[in-house]
Amino acid sequence: MNLYVGNLDYSIREQQIADLFSEYGEVASVKIITDKMTGRSKGFAFVDMPNDDEAREAISNLDQASVRDRNISVSEARPPEQRERKPFRPNNFGGGGGGGNRFRRN
């Protein structure tokens, strides 16, 4: 089961999350989501636990638990939404100059 973990402290590391969840069962992977530009944590992560019963126990025990003075939220992750791909349509605004140079000196 893939779990969503929210409201994380920005300085927490994947191994620390894995250690927290491993108290309830096997943790296959942990992925902290980061900002593409800065590389800084966005404050949430995904934890993959192969055993659904262990994952449910982790949810039951860790949802709203205080971790680094923050009440984390833990729930089953929802599948990513499929975005509708819109076909490319170039605009008809033309482009480029037109008209005279309004900054030209006479």
Is the pTM value of this prediction over 0.85? no
Q: What is the DSSP letter of 25?
A: S
How far, in Å, are 1, 2, 39, 40, 83 from residue 78 at the CA level?
10, 8, 24, 23, 15
Residue 104's pLDDT is: 58
Which one-letter DSSP state was computed for residue 56?
A: H
Q: What is the rounded distance in angstroms from the CA atom of residue 41 to the CA atom of residue 35?
A: 6
pLDDT averaged per 10 residues in sequence order, the chain, 106 residues: 98 98 98 96 98 98 97 94 68 58 59
Domain at 2-69, CATH class: alpha beta
Q: Measured in Å, how far apart are the chain's first and last C-alpha atoms? A: 74
Beta strands in 1-106 (DSSP E): 2-6, 29-34, 41-48, 66-67, 70-71, 73-76
Query: Does residue 55 come out as left (phi exceeding 0), alpha (psi in the -120 to 50 range) or beta?
Result: alpha
